[in-house]
Amino acid sequence: MMTVAQLNSIRDRVRKELLIREPHNRLVVGVGTVGIAAGAREIMAAAMEVVNTLGLDMVVVGEDLSVPAEQMPVVRFIGADGEEITFTSVTASKIREIVKDLADKVGTAENA
Amino acid sequence: MGLIRSHVLVCAGTGCVSSGCKMMQEAMQQALERHGLSSEIKVVETGCFGFCKEGPIVMVYPEGTFYCQVKPEDVEELVSEHLLKGRIVERLLYKEPVSERAISLFNDIGFYQKQQRVALRNCGKINPESIEEYIARDGYQALAKAVTQMTPTQVIEMVSESGLRGRGGGGFPAGRKWEFARVAQGDIKYVVCNADEGDPGAFMDRSILEGDPHSVVEAMAIAGYAIGAKQGYVYVRAEYPIAVERLSIAIKQARELGLLGKNIFGSGFDFDLGIRLGAGAFVCGEETALLTSIEGHRGTPRPRPPYPAVKGLWGKPTLINNVETFANIPVIILHGPAKFKSIGTDTSPGTKVFALAGNINNTGLVEVPMGTTLREIVYDIGGGIPGGKAFKACQTGGPSGGCLPAELLDTPVDYDSLTAAGSMMGSGGLIVMDEDNCMVDVARFFLEFTQDESCGKCVPCREGTKRMLEILERITNGEGVAGDIELLEELAEVISRTSLCGLGQTAPNPVLATLKFFRDEYEAHIYEKRCPAGVCQALLSYAIVAEKCKGCGLCKKVCPVDAISGDLRQPHTIDKDKCIKCGACVAKCPFKAISR
Amino acid sequence: MDEKKCAGCSSNTTTDPRYQELAQVIEQYRDMEGALIMVLHRAQEIFGYLPEDVQKIVAKELDLPLSEVYGVTTFYSYFSLKPRGKYRIAVCLGTACYVRGAAELVSAIEKELGIKVNDTTEDARFTLEVSRCIGACGLAPVMTINDDVYGRLTPDKIPEILAKYE
Q: Report residue A83 CA to chain centroid gap.
A: 14
Topology match between the domains B351-434 and B541-595:
no
Q: What are the extents of the domains in chain B? A: 6-112, 131-341, 351-434, 439-527, 541-595
Question: Which residues sit opposite A87 in a β-bridge?
Answer: A75
CB contact under 8 Å between C138 and B55, yes or no, is: yes
CA distance C4 to C53: 21
- Evaluate whether residue C81 is within a structural domain: no
Nearest to A20 among B6, B83, B266 (CB): B6
User: Which candidate, B165, B200, B212, places its Cα nearest to that of B340?
Assistant: B165
In this structure, what DSSP letter does residue B299 have? -
DSSP string over chain A: ---HHHHHHHHHHHHHHHGGGS-SEEEEEE-SHHHHHTTHHHHHHHHHHHHHHHTBSEEEEEE-----GGG-S-EEEE-TTS-EEEE-S--HHHHHHHHHHHHHHH-BGGG-
Q: Please say if the pLDDT value at position B408 is more than 50.
A: yes
Residue-wise pLDDT for A91-100, tens only, equals 988 999 999 9
What is residue B1's predicted lDDT score, i.e. its pLDDT? 44
8 A C-beta contact, residue B359 and residue B181: no
Give me the architecture of the B439-527 domain, per CATH.
Up-down Bundle (1.20)
Amino acid in the structure at residue B379: Y
CA distance C13 to B147: 51
Which residue of B lies nearest to C42 if distances are taken between CA atoms?
B277
The residue ranges of DSSP E strands in chain C, in sequence order, are 87-92, 126-131, 143-145, 148-150
Percentage of residues of chain C with pLDDT beyond 70:
92
Question: Residues of A with CB below 8 A from B84's CB?
Answer: 31, 36, 62
Which residue of B lies nearest to A49 if distances are taken between CA atoms?
B3
Highest mean pLDDT of the ranges B14-18, B391-395, B576-580: B391-395
- CA geometry: angle B535, B537, B540, nearest 5 deg: 85
- Give first-to-last CA distance, chain A, whole Å: 28
B and A: touch, per 3+ CB pairs < 8 A? yes
**All partners of chain C with 3 or more CB pairs under 8 angstroms:** B
- SS3 track for B126-146: CCCCCHHHHHHCCCCHHHHHH
Structural domain harbouring C104: 87-163
What is residue C100's predicted lDDT score, i.e. its pLDDT? 86
Burial class (CB in 10 A: 0-12, 13-18, 19+), B4: middle
Among candidate residues C75, C100, C122, the one where a domain is terminated: C75
CB contact under 8 Å between C139 and B358, yes or no, is: no
Measure in Å the smallest separation between the Cα of C106 and chain B Cα atoms.
14
CB contact under 8 Å between B86 and A32, yes or no, is: yes
- Chain B residues 464-523 within an 8 A CB cutoff of chain C: none
CA distance C158 to B452: 27
Nearest to C132 among B15, B198, B294 (CB): B198
Question: Residues of B with CB below 8 A from A49's CB?
Answer: 3
Residue-wise pLDDT for A55-87, tens only, equals 899 999 988 888 787 888 899 999 988 899 999
CB contact under 8 Å between A21 and B136, yes or no, is: no
Statement to judge: residues C154 and C95 lie in one domain: yes
Quickly state the pLDDT bin for A32 (edges 50, 70, 90): confident
The β-bridge relationship of strands B429-434 and B391-396 is antiparallel
- Chain B residues 409-468 within an 8 A CB cutoff of chain C: 429, 431, 433, 437, 442, 445-446, 455
Measure in Å the smallest separation between the Cα of B52 and chain C Cα atoms.
5
CB contact under 8 Å between B18 and C147, yes or no, is: no
- Evaluate whether residue C45 is within a structural domain: yes
- Residue B51, phi then psi, degrees to nearest 5: -95, 60
Buried b (16+ CB within 10 A) or exposed e, A10-22: bbeebbbebbbbe
H/E run at residue B421: helix B415-421
CA distance B473 to B441: 8
What is residue B191's predicted lDDT score, i.e. its pLDDT? 98
Supply the mean pLDDT for chain A: 89
**B266 in contact with A at a CB cutoff of 8 Å?**
yes
CB contact under 8 Å between C72 and B314, yes or no, is: no
Question: Residues of B with CB below 8 A from A15's CB?
Answer: 136-137
CATH superfamily of B6-112: Glutaredoxin (3.40.30.10)
Nearest to B266 among A3, A17, A33 (CB): A3
8 A C-beta contact, residue B21 and residue B10: yes
Torsion-angle region of B539 (φ positive above 0: left; ψ -120 to 50: alpha; else: beta): alpha
CATH superfamily of A22-106: Glutaredoxin (3.40.30.10)
8 A C-beta contact, residue B535 and residue B441: yes
Measure in Å the smallest separation between the Cα of C2 and chain B Cα atoms.
32
Give the dihedral sign, CA C80/C82/C83/C87.
Answer: negative
**B90 in contact with A at a CB cutoff of 8 Å?**
no
Among candidate residues C75, C102, C127, the one where a domain is terminated: C75
CA distance B73 to B86: 19
Three-state DSSP state, B366: strand
Helical H segments across B437-562, by residue range: 439-453, 459-476, 484-498, 502-506, 509-527, 554-558
Question: Residues of B with CB below 8 A from A27's CB?
Answer: none
Question: Residues of C with CB below 8 A from B279's CB?
Answer: 37, 40-41, 76-79
Q: Pick B351-434's CATH classification: 3.40.640.10, 3.10.20.600, 3.40.50.620, 3.30.530.20.
A: 3.10.20.600
Nearest to B238 among C71, C78, C95 (CB): C78
C and B: touch, per 3+ CB pairs < 8 A? yes
Buried b (16+ CB within 10 A) or exposed e, B420-443: ebbbbbbbbbbbbbbeebbbbbbb
H/E run at residue B287: helix B287-294
CB contact under 8 Å between B87 and A32, yes or no, is: yes
Q: What is the mean pLDDT of residues B484-492?
A: 97
CB atoms near residue C63 (< 10 Å): 7
**B148 in contact with A at a CB cutoff of 8 Å?**
yes
Quickly state the pLDDT bin for B107 (edges 50, 70, 90): confident
- Give first-to-last CA distance, chain B, whole Å: 67
The residue ranges of DSSP E strands in B269-413, in sequence order, are 272-277, 318-322, 351-358, 364-369, 391-396, 402-405
Residues 6+ apart with CB under 8 A from B137: A15, A18, B121, B122, B125, B126
CA distance B66 to B51: 11
**B202 in contact with C at a CB cutoff of 8 Å?**
yes
Instruction: Strand B41-46: give its sheet, edge to edge.
Output: B41-46, B6-11, B58-61, B65-67
Question: Residues of B with CB below 8 A from A48's CB?
Answer: 1, 3, 5
| Rg of chain C taking only CA atoms, in angstroms | 18
- Choose the mutation target among A3, A6, A7 for the interface with B, i.e. most B CBs under 10 Å: A7
Residue-wise pLDDT for B338-368, tens only, equals 999 999 999 999 999 999 988 999 888 999 9
ipTM over 0.85: yes
- SS3 track for B185-236: CCCCCEEEEEECCCCCCCCHHHHHHHHCHHHHHHHHHHHHHHHCCCEEEEEE
Among candidate residues C17, C49, C75, the one where a domain is terminated: C75
Statement to judge: residues C41 and C101 lie in one domain: no
8 A C-beta contact, residue B220 and residue B190: no
CB contact under 8 Å between C40 and B359, yes or no, is: no
Q: How far is CA B406 from CA B373, B383, B433, B524, in A?
A: 12, 16, 10, 20
Nearest to C95 among B281, B295, B431 (CB): B431
Statement to judge: residues C39 and C71 lie in one domain: yes
Q: What are the extents of the domains in chain A? A: 22-106
8 A C-beta contact, residue B367 and residue B324: no
CB contact under 8 Å between A49 and B3, yes or no, is: yes
User: Which candidate, C24, C77, C20, C89, places its Cα nearest to that of C50?
Assistant: C77
Question: Residues of C with CB below 8 A from B535's CB?
Answer: none
> Does the pTM of the predicted model rise above 0.80?
yes
Q: Which CATH class is domain B131-341?
A: alpha beta
Measure in Å the smallest separation between the Cα of B369 and chain C Cα atoms.
21
CB contact under 8 Å between B7 and A20, yes or no, is: yes
**B197 in contact with C at a CB cutoff of 8 Å?**
yes
**B61 in contact with A at a CB cutoff of 8 Å?**
yes
8 A C-beta contact, residue B235 and residue B323: no
Measure in Å the smallest separation between the Cα of B78 and chain A Cα atoms.
13
Measure in Å the smallest separation between the Cα of B262 and chain A Cα atoms.
8
CB contact under 8 Å between A61 and B63, yes or no, is: yes
What is residue B8's predicted lDDT score, i.e. its pLDDT? 95
H/E run at residue B7: strand B6-11
- Chain B residues 323-352 within an 8 A CB cutoff of chain C: none
Domain count within chain C: 2
**All partners of chain A with 3 or more CB pairs under 8 angstroms:** B
CB contact under 8 Å between C78 and B297, yes or no, is: no
What is residue C145's predicted lDDT score, i.e. its pLDDT? 92
Buried b (16+ CB within 10 A) or exposed e, A84-104: eeebeebeeeebbebbeebbe
Give the pLDDT means over successive 10-residue stretches in chain C (166 positions).
Answer: 59 79 95 94 94 96 96 94 92 88 91 92 93 82 88 92 92
CA distance B134 to B122: 8
Nearest to C138 among B53, B199, B429 (CB): B53
**B296 in contact with C at a CB cutoff of 8 Å?**
yes
**All partners of chain B with 3 or more CB pairs under 8 angstroms:** A, C
The β-bridge relationship of strands A75-78 and A84-87 is antiparallel
- Residue B159, phi then psi, degrees to nearest 5: -65, -40
CATH number at residue C139: 3.40.30.10
Q: Please say if the pLDDT value at position B95 is more than 90.
A: no
Q: Please say if the pLDDT value at position B267 is more than 60.
A: yes
Nearest to B136 among A14, A44, A48 (CB): A14
Nearest to C138 among B15, B276, B395 (CB): B15
Q: Which CATH class is domain B541-595?
A: alpha beta
- Give first-to-last CA distance, chain C, whole Å: 21
Measure in Å the smallest separation between the Cα of A37 and chain B Cα atoms.
11
CB atoms near residue C6 (< 10 Å): 12
CB contact under 8 Å between B14 and C96, yes or no, is: no
Quickly state the pLDDT bin for B2 (edges 50, 70, 90): low
Q: How far is CA B496 from CA B36, B474, B508, in A?
A: 65, 22, 7
CA distance B295 to B273: 15
8 A C-beta contact, residue B291 and residue B192: yes
